[in-house]
């Protein structure tokens, strides 16, 4: 954590729950940097998370009001907080499993209702904390502890799903695109309506080691190689495109 951001950390909380090479710690840094650059008042913010490694990002680390809730129910709790006090900035930070598997219904309906929340989904394509089970975001063919012969199903494209459900702002970046990601978090925080950012976050411990990427650097380098901006992808052939992960700000309703 950069020294300038330490003031946002809850006193007394030591160390990190994240494994070496996990992208969630990098994301934590990017979120705090966005808050710092916007000079947001932590007293006017509430951070809500569900259950999973990603849910540890705000809670217990952030020195502000945090709600560490039930698995899959972060968006429901966040909706309650926002309705109770609309002056608060309510940010949900949780995992792909939490938000889109068990919590999938809350996610799409909050997007449909355009509830004024900022939702950051740390997508490591697996249930990390519970030992590496298949998620609704796991790529087809990928090995997990519950799909040793390879995942037979297609994953959700989370950004497209939330966009189709009715969100006001949708972006996707990897933790390896810090400038664009911090900009997106700032935009999402200022945007009125349901703002969703899918953040690709490597999990060497549960995903990488089962999918021939056991070194954390390999996963980071793969993200650097595969993530392209929408405008860069426009010039690629169909074959080249299939290999890439398209990132960018996909949707921004005028306010």
Ligand X SMILES: Cc1ncc(C[n+]2csc(CCOP(=O)(O)OP(=O)(O)O)c2C)c(N)n1
**Where do contacts with Mg ion occur on this chain (CB under 5 A)?**
95-97, 124, 128
* Distance in Å, CB of 130 to ligand X, minimum: 4
**Binding residues with ligand X: total (CB under 6 A):** 18
* Distance in Å, CB of 51 to ligand X, minimum: 4
How far is residue 235's CA from residue 48's CA, in Å, rounded to a whole number? 39
Q: Are 91 and 48 in contact (CB under 8 A)?
A: yes
Residue 98 sits in the site that holds ligand X (CB under 6 A): yes
* Distance in Å, CB of 187 to ligand X, minimum: 24
- The SS3 of residue 89 is strand
Q: What is the DSSP string of 135-189?
A: -TTSPTT--BTTBTT---SPPP-HHHHHHHHT-SEEEEEETT-HHHHHHHHHHHH
Among 69, 124, 136, 176, binds ligand X (CB under 6 A): 124
* Distance in Å, CB of 53 to ligand X, minimum: 3
- The SS3 of residue 96 is helix
Residue 23 sits in the site that holds ligand X (CB under 6 A): no
Q: Tokens for 143?
A: 């090995």
How far is residue 159's CA from residue 68's CA, in Å, rounded to a whole number? 24
Residue 185 sits in the site that holds ligand X (CB under 6 A): no
Site string for ligand X, 41-60 (x = CB under 6 A): ----------xxxx------
**Which residue sits closest to Mg ion, CB atoms considered?**
95
Binding site for ligand X (CB under 6 A): 51-54, 71, 94-98, 122, 124, 126-130, 135
């Amino acid at each position: 954590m950069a020294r300038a951001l330490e003031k946002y950390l809850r006193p007394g909380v030591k160390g990190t729950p994240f494994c070496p090479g996990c992208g969630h710690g990098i994301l934590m840094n990017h979120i705090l940097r966005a808050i710092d650059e916007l000079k947001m008042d932590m007293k006017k913010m509430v951070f809500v998370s569900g259950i999973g490694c990603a849910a540890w990002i705000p809670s217990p680390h952030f020195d502000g009001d945090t709600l560490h809730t039930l698995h899959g129910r972060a968006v429901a709790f966040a909706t309650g907080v926002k309705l109770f006090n609309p002056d608060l900035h309510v940010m949900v930070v949780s995992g792909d499993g939490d938000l889109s598997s068990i919590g999938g219904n809350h996610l799409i309906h909050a997007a449909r209702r355009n509830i004024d929340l900022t939702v950051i989904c740390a997508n490591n394509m697996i249930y990390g904390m519970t030992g590496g089970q298949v998620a609704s975001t796991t790529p087809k063919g990928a090995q997990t502890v519950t799909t040793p012969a390879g995942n037979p199903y297609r994953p959700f494209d989370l950004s497209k799903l939330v966009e189709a459900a009715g969100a006001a702002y949708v972006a996707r970046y990897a933790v390896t695109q810090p400038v664009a990601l911090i900009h997106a978090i700032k935009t999402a925080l200022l945007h009125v309506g349901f703002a969703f950012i899918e953040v690709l976050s490597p999990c060497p411990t549960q995903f990488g080691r089962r999918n021939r990427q056991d070194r954390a650097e390999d996963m980071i380098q793969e993200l650097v190689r595969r993530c392209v901006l929408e405008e860069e992808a426009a010039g690629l052939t169909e074959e080249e495109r299939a290999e890439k992960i398209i990132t960018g700000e996909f949707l921004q309703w005028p306010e």
